[in-house]
Structure 1
Amino acid sequence: MKQMMNMPQNLSMNAPFGLPSTSNPTSAGVPATKDRKMASAEHLVLDLSNPDLRESALLELSKKRELFQDLAPLLWNSFGTIAALLQEIVCIYPVLSPPNLTPVQSNRVCNALALLQCVASHPDTRMLFLNAHIPLYLYPFLNTTSKSRPFEYLRLTSLGVIGALVKVDDTEVISFLLSTEIIPLCLRTMEMGSELSKTSL
């Protein structure tokens, strides 16, 4: 972790995505604004690996995720980033039962889930996301029974990740979800959730 914290800020993570170096913003006809956005995304993704900066980076990336082109491949291919997002998910398992999830905890993990939804919806990362069985990490959230708002947001955002997977008519995605416990979990969500989460199914 110390090595990640000491890494240089101007990573060359943009190379796999066909973008030029930030030192030459207008090369290859790429507008400078687009290049600056990518550099900003890279900086925030790097911050995810630093526990002291992660909460702020989660918030910024989740709010601006639609502005960053190819954010999903950047998240997936950046060293330690998916592990950091999964850590955010796993660390709140203990407060699910008995239900002690606070609004602050809920907002933070929902921001992490929003980034995973970005990965789940991108054509270049969807099957990688599925083959890593990452949806299984969300199932405990769908199995919660508390009707409080923090838990409702958690269920709703988790459903958003699952929904991103099934928006594309892919038999492999459907087979994976049917082979797991997603159907009873969705029924549980319909039983326990508000009208908003019920209509998301």
Structure 2
Amino acid sequence: MSNSWERRYRMDLLIVNLRESSIRGNVLVELNKFIIHQSTEAMRMDLGFHLWNSELTFPILLQEVVAVYPKLLDPTILTMTETTRLCNALNVIQCMASHPDARIGLLRANIPYFLNPFLQVSENVMRLLQGVTLSILDLIAELAKFDESYGQEILLLLLDTQVVHLCLHCILHGHQQIRKVATFILVKILMQEKGLKYCCTLPARFLLVIQVLHQLVDKFTCDEIPCLQQIKCVVQCYLCLSRVAWVGGIYDAVRTYFPQQLIDNTFGNITRVSPSSCFSPDDLEIPNMLHQLVLNLTRQPPQ
């Protein structure tokens, strides 16, 4: 029996067993283990496509998500077993989203709207649902692939679900890993022309974006040691915003809320180029971005 045949047999058996409500919790555990053991991206995409096209699988997983809604009113009654089961269901949906056809299918099926209630909670509730919040953000990050097929449709569908506002909410109230993933999603949106326009068209929305980013940098300064990827995402966000700073009279707002910590060497131990004479282009990426950002913010506005 070939490994490929064994893998497909195991996959089909798990999908069929998922329909049995009495054993579904255990099946979700096994399905997550099976996903983890997919050693290549191609294998993961194949599994995602197979899951998406299997009868009843997506409705069953959606049922697992919706079943938790009543307990959002009092998440203290949500047991660890229930939380783990929900995260397992979300991870399977994330595996689906690894395939482009399934990804656009999930968005056309309005999957973000079913996830939003978990992200619209208060800071205290989010603290109790950290694992669930992180699983949802990881799923949204998997959906947010704008440089592939259906990319622009995916962007517009996500923007319609208030994903920017929800990411900002998570940056303000989530723990470090939640903030990291939410900022990653935000910068991917800002790097798209239509996403940048969306964030800058309404003054209130634009002001909220730069205020939240400023508060995030303040967290880095006061009580959190950021990693290189976090700093890079924040700098990329400001760089995107600075490129449209002349439009609509928002230049002064960008400068007012720009955190000086990014350029006053507060994070020099992270962003400084190694003194070695031989360095990779990656070593220069953040310093070059900061240099361009300073240029964008110090130019005189056009008369």
TM-score for both structures, normalised by structure 1: 0.79
Structure 1 residue ranges without an equivalent (≥5):
1-24, 26-31
Secondary structure of 2:22 counterpart:
coil
- 1:99 corresponds, among 61, 75, 79, to 75
Match for 1:123 among 86, 100, 104?
100
- How far the C-alpha of 1:152 sits from its partner, in A, is 0.5
The offset of 1:63, in angstroms, is 2.1
Q: Secondary structure at the match of 1:79?
A: coil
1: CA distance, partners of 2:146 / 2:126:
31
AA partner of residue 172 (structure 1) = E
Alignment of 1:1-201 (within 5 A): 25=1, 32-68=2-38, 69=43, 70-100=46-76, 101-145=78-122, 146-149=125-128, 151-169=129-147, 170-201=151-182
Higher relative contact order (CA 8 A, sep 6+): 1
Name the CA distance, whole Å, in 1 between partners of 2:81 and 2:127.
Answer: 13
Q: Name the amino acid aligned to 1:175.
A: L
Q: Which secondary structure does the structure 1 equivalent of 2:100 belong to? A: coil
**More helix per residue:** 2
Alpha-carbon deviations, 1:84-132, whole Å to 9, x = none?
Answer: 1001000000001122322211110000000111111212311111111
Alpha-carbon distance in structure 2 between the residues aligned to 1:115 and 1:173: 20
State the 4+ residue runs in structure 1 displaced beyond 4 angstroms.
Answer: none
What letter is aligned with 2:17?
Answer: D
What percent of counterpart residues are identical? 35
Structure number with larger C-alpha Rg: 2
**Partners of 1:162 and 1:94 in 2: how far apart?**
23
Structure 2's unaligned 5+ residue stretches are: 183-303
Secondary structure of 2:75's match?
coil
Deviations 1:124-162 (A, max 9, x none): 31111111111211111111221435x001110000110
Instruction: Please state how far the C-alpha of 1:191 moved relative to its aligned partner.
Output: 1.7
* Paired positions, count: 170
TM-fit CA distance, 1:51: 0.5
- SS of alignment partner, residue 21 of structure 2: coil
**Contact 2:126–2:133 (Cα < 8 Å) also in 1:** no
